[in-house]
C-alpha cells in the first residue's frame, strides 16, 4: 500500500486512482455512481449494498 501511495504522489496521480477506496457520487435522489467496487451484493428500489475490497456499503 505504501508503494502505491508513494508512486501516486511521485506521478501526481489522484488518490482515487492509487487507492482501493470506492468513489461514491450522488446526484439527487435518482442517481448514485459508485466506482472502484468489487460487486453488487443486493439491489432493491431504495436499497443498494456493494462489496469493496475492504468494506460493504449500504445505501
Our count of domains for the chain comes to: 1
Q: Is residue 13 part of a domain?
A: no
Residue 53: DSSP 8-state = S
Alpha-helical (H) ranges within 1-59 are: 2-10, 15-18
pLDDT in tens, the chain (59 residues): 688 778 888 888 887 777 777 888 888 888 888 888 888 999 888 888 888 877 766 66
Is 17 contained in some domain?
Answer: no
pTM: 0.60
Residue 6 lies inside a defined structural domain of this protein: no
| 30 inside domain | yes
The closest of 48, 54, 13, 11 to 36, measured between CA atoms, is 54
Owning domain of residue 51? 22-59
- On whether residue 16 sits in a domain, the answer given is no
Amino acid at each position: 500500500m505504501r508503494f502505491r501511495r508513494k508512486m501516486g504522489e511521485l506521478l501526481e496521480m489522484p488518490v482515487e486512482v492509487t487507492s482501493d477506496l470506492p468513489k461514491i457520487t450522488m446526484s439527487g435522489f435518482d442517481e448514485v455512481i459508485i466506482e472502484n467496487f468489487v460487486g453488487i451484493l443486493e439491489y432493491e428500489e431504495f436499497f443498494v449494498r456493494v462489496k469493496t475490497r475492504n468494506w460493504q456499503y449500504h445505501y
